[in-house]
Structure 1
Amino acid sequence: MEFGMIAAVFALLLMILCGFPIAYAFGVTGFLITAIAGGNSSFHLGQAMSQMGGFALLALPLFIISGALMSEAGISDRLLRVVDRIFGQLRGGLGLVTILSCALFGAISGSAAAAIAAIGRIMIPRMIDDGYKPGYATALVACSSVLSLMIPPSIPMIVFAITSGISVGAAFLSTVIPGLILAFVYALLNMAFSGVAARQTNQKNYRSKQILRADHDAEQGRKQTDLIEASWALGLPLIVLGGIYSGIFTPTEAAAVAVVYAFFVGWIIYRRLTLRSIASSVRDGVAMTGQIAIILFFLFVLTRSMSMEQIPQNIANTILGLSDNYIVVLLLLNVALLVIGMLVDDISGSILAAVVLMPIAIKAGINPVHFAAIVGVNLGLGNVSPPCAPLLFMAGGISNLHLPAYIGPSLKLLLTGHLPVVLLVTFIPQLALWLPNMLLN
């Protein structure tokens, strides 16, 4: 690349590092590249506007609104109750309840931040009351929240699929098995850590006191009632994903069905939705969609200008010039994704991965769907890794703790739990490809 183009790419990185709004960083860089090349910016603006009219993009606001409606309907409380009654008596029961609830809530909301807000505000105080150290309770909620990014429907995976041009359904499926593995690993680690903590504090084990005090017969009746109530919430991902992969409707049509179903459950079944809460859900969905739409618009401008000057191909050639070893390229991509995840949010990270790193992955012979899974697990790891760690700090805000109190437990969970899963997904492609191959051929 000539010096001017290299300067433009470094300007983009510098703006991101300095906290410049990601959308405008994309736009400034796109216009800068066009100006250096002597091109016409109006052409790129027209192309970007045309891409914004894509039918698949309509799935984004609909999934966001459906998740907001289900959150307003009080499903987090119902999910927590039913999971608590089933698993609360195990060693480290409340920790296990937290992990599984984040995964289930992700299947409904598709947002890690929403999982922290809904699950963390309930489970962090309960775990502390039950004997968990506040720092560990905060770390467990933060680390488990990334399951919401991996269990479909996942909003970052929708954005990545739209940006990279791969199937939304395939992107959804690519992170299912990695997400289940991560949940299982965290459950095992929680049992081990809880056992150590229990011995240190002379407690038999960490349990839900509510479960221990309940009469057995009454408890069984409440468990059945909670399960019936929670089944309505769990029906949302079953209907949406079942409809997509059976071919009944497209992801965009599935998103519309999700909004109708969420409204029905919240208004008729749970009777928690009001006109005010519905308006609030729609307003929040529109606001979040607007933010993402601005990012995507300027991204399309940047992508078009970069493609015209073959910048992604040149970056790919430069990196592949360092080594043509497949394993080395995979490791370099993982490092790049981890750094991106540390610096920006999951939406912006998925966009950057699609624009900058996808050409490298394709040129190295990595299956695009496999790369989608690598992006999903790495961005989740980056979003809870310092220095930026937006999800980690959000959980700390709920528990009102400072970073030193929960950074140790967080790093322990990430290094012994999440990082090994990243390596498994990276070097065993079938973990990402088996479900898409089986269901989508």
Structure 2
Amino acid sequence: MTFFFIAITIIVFLLLIEVPVGFAFGIGALTYGYLSGTDISFHAGFGYTQIGAFSLLAIPLFILSGTLMGASGISDRLLNFVNAFVGRTKGGLGAVTVITCALFGAISGSASAAIAAIGKIMVPRMIKEGYPPGHATALIAVSSVLALMIPPSIPMIVFAIAIRESVAKAFLATMGPGILLALIYCGLNFFFLRKNTTIRVQPKLSLPDTARQIALTGKQATLAIFMPVIILGGIYSGIATPTEAGAVALVYTLFVGILIYRSLSFGQLFDSTIEAARLAGAILMVLFFLFVMSRGMVLAKVPTQFADLLLTVSENRIVILLLINLLLLFMGMIIDDVSGSVLAAIILLPVTQRIGLDPIHFAGIVGTNLGLGNISPPCAPLLYMAGGVTRQPLSEYIGPTMKFLMLGHLPMVFLVTFIPELSLYLPGLLD
């Protein structure tokens, strides 16, 4: 147990001094292996086997389809369609940003891809129309988390594999909370901007003109809107596995971008493939070292010992759930959502089993809470990425971000934790 805490401390320190995540976990895994006196080559074989799992192939497929969506202009068509409904109201562009991030999540499963594709388009547009730059940046940062909660979700793929549960059920565990959170963010956006006098709103159209605009943008975005239907319909009808759905999403994106919209050039295809390979490679490198480290911890019974330690604090179910959420929040603050999903599965699952928590309910808690941590300082990888994309100083958007988190995401974490039906109702439909 002592060696585990030493390894975790080293990993946290390396992350805080901005060592790349993959290298930080690699050094932590090697340190743990050395201190515990185990043969690292024995655990490396286990890690290699785990990252070779067929289900994990969905990760690069969804990442590549997401990057190609942004490059081919498919995300622009989604934005225009959503904008036709609410774009001509005060605060409407903010609602468009939130809803489009949720739709983008139903295709790519990647928060960083949502920031890159949606943020680069919507934030300059919002600022041009008079939105406070800090509010616009904060909105894209908090909305990007919806891409992690609306299936297909890359962190939930990894989590389901780690706990040996259905990937489809893990997807649905965060879908209900994700939809509710999107509605909350839309409401908060309108509330925060209600007294703003700098926002310029396009003149309202008559009902027939609005209907024509919706019909026109809907026709242009039909193939983009149909994509989530194909992906999720394939998964939940049993026709395709998540990995097969990822392959279909990629082929569909290429077909639409190259042959239908003719907006995807060879250069864009090449650049998107390189970017997707870089992101997927970084994720798989982290996962490899996490699996290596987890093998050693399981053999040393570290998760069981950690569960015993946590239960010595209190045996009250509510207290334990609050402690679990606190640990998840801390994980999300210092590491990415994929790494946090694996660590949560390894370290905290034994605790949840002791208190009788359903594994799918735990998936909902993990997916909701890690997203909160990813946009909460000090590390806040998604928050800083949003600032980098929009080129705004942290002082401009940290305040608005904290308002969204405290009034929106944090209450949702508690609702998911203490109202299990939010996470269990949709997965229960698959039984």
**TM-score, normalized by the shorter chain, greater than 0.5:** yes
2:40 matched residue in structure 1:
41
Change (3 A) 1:332 1:94: same
1:347 matched residue in structure 2:
338
* 1:313 partner amino acid: T
24-33 vs 53-62, which deviates more?
A: 24-33
186-195 vs 12-21, which deviates more?
A: 12-21
* 2:40 partner amino acid: S
Q: Does 1:115 align with 2:106?
A: no
What displacement does 1:352 show?
2.2
Change (3 A) 1:361 1:45: same
Q: Secondary structure at the match of 2:272?
A: helix
Change (3 A) 1:4 1:192: closer
Change (3 A) 1:328 1:304: same
Mapped partners of 1:116, 1:7: distance in 2? 34
1:434 matched residue in structure 2:
425
Do the aligned residues in 1 keep the contact of 2:60 with 2:277 (CA within 8 Å)? Answer: yes
* 221, 232, 242: which one aligns with 2:223: 232
* 2:349 partner amino acid: M
1:316-335 alignment runs, 5 A limit: 316-335=307-326
2:252 matched residue in structure 1:
261
State the TM-score, normalizing by the size of structure 2.
Answer: 0.94
Q: Secondary structure at the match of 1:410?
A: helix
1:65 matched residue in structure 2:
64
Change (3 A) 1:343 1:35: closer
Mapped partners of 1:252, 1:411: distance in 2? 36
Mapped partners of 1:19, 1:167: distance in 2? 34
Mapped partners of 1:128, 1:7: distance in 2? 46
Q: Does 1:296 align with 2:296?
A: no
2:237 matched residue in structure 1:
246
What displacement does 1:4 show?
4.4
Do the aligned residues in 2 keep the contact of 1:320 with 1:364 (CA within 8 Å)? Answer: no
309-318 vs 37-46, which deviates more?
A: 37-46
Change (3 A) 1:302 1:229: same
2:128 matched residue in structure 1:
129
2:28 matched residue in structure 1:
29
2:351 matched residue in structure 1:
360
What displacement does 1:9 show?
4.3
What displacement does 1:216 show?
6.9
Map Cα deviations across residues 8-56 of structure 1 (whole Å, 9 max, x no partner).
Answer: 4444444444444333333333333333443322221222222222111
Q: Secondary structure at the match of 2:194?
A: helix
Q: Does 1:154 align with 2:153?
A: yes
Mapped partners of 2:167, 2:30: distance in 1? 29
Q: Secondary structure at the match of 2:136?
A: helix
1:197-236 alignment runs, 5 A limit: 197=196, 201=197, 206=199, 208-209=201-202, 212=204, 220-236=211-227
The percentage of aligned residue pairs carrying the same residue is 52
428-437 vs 250-259, which deviates more?
A: 250-259
What displacement does 1:219 show?
5.4
Mapped partners of 2:25, 2:381: distance in 1? 21
Mapped partners of 1:149, 1:307: distance in 2? 28
412-421 vs 44-53, which deviates more?
A: 44-53
* 1:335 partner amino acid: L
1:313 matched residue in structure 2:
304
Q: Does 1:53 align with 2:52?
A: yes
Q: Secondary structure at the match of 2:256?
A: helix
* 2:49 partner amino acid: S
2:388 matched residue in structure 1:
397
Mapped partners of 1:190, 1:409: distance in 2? 10
2:399 matched residue in structure 1:
408
Change (3 A) 1:394 1:50: closer
Q: Please provide the CA RMSD for this pair.
A: 2.0
Unaligned runs of 5+ in 2: none
Mapped partners of 1:116, 1:22: distance in 2? 20
Q: Does 1:273 align with 2:264?
A: yes
What displacement does 1:364 show?
2.5
Mapped partners of 1:5, 1:95: distance in 2? 44
324-333 vs 356-365, which deviates more?
A: 356-365
1:183 matched residue in structure 2:
182
Map Cα deviations across residues 220-255 of structure 1 (whole Å, 9 max, x no partner).
Answer: 434312101212112121111111111111111111
Mapped partners of 2:15, 2:389: distance in 1? 27
Change (3 A) 1:398 1:32: closer
253-262 vs 352-361, which deviates more?
A: 352-361
1:363-382 alignment runs, 5 A limit: 363-382=354-373
